[in-house]
Amino acid sequence: MNSNSLQRRVQRGFSLIELMIVVAIIGIIAAIALPALNNNIKAGRETAAVGTLRTIHGAQATFNARKGRYATLKELADDGLIQKHFAEGKAVKEYIYTDGITEPDSSRFCVQATRKSDGSAWSDFNITEKGEVYYVKSTTKTPLPYGEGQPLATADNDNGGDEKKK
């Protein structure tokens, strides 16, 4: 064989072994990255749920100032204080928002944010007229009744974790 035919043979492309090694490396990287991505998605959903509950609390305060009582989610949506899809009982970013007290009055209300499915996040939440968000961390979705759960730590809390406020 002359040197030209050897050179052409070398330049044909990748061997099957080389391609299998590349695919294996990509598989290993994906196996490491996907759980972290899934955890970040769950954390984002929880952050969005807490933000929505705080927005609903503000809407309740506005409604109470105007009408002297707290409202149901439907009443808040009808008054334009929250978006209608929060009051429809359908999942919004994997959380379903419901009234924790069927008949809110002038002294109290509770709005629950419950996971649509067990694997969509780690916690379920609620907020009451006090403005504090409560949560329960569980492997199964758990609607959080009025006055139950642990208070969510806030930025002004020195321990910065999910521990109860002192």
pLDDT digits (tens, 9 = 90+) for 72-88: 999 999 999 999 999 98
- pLDDT band of 49, cuts 50, 70, 90: very high
| pLDDT per position as a tens digit, 120-154 | 899 999 999 999 999 999 888 888 888 889 998 75
Determine what percent of the chain is predicted with pLDDT higher than 70: 84
**Amino acid identity, position 143:** P
The first and second tokens of residue 112, run together, are 């629950």
Instruction: At 159, give phi and psi (nearest 5°).
Output: -80, -15
Give the contacts of 40 (CB within 8 A, at least 6 positions apart).
none
Distance CA 115, CA 136 (A): 11
What pLDDT shows up at residue 53?
95
| pLDDT per position as a tens digit, 101-114 | 877 677 899 999 99
What is the mean pLDDT of the segment spanning 42-70?
94
Distance CA 61, CA 108 (A): 11
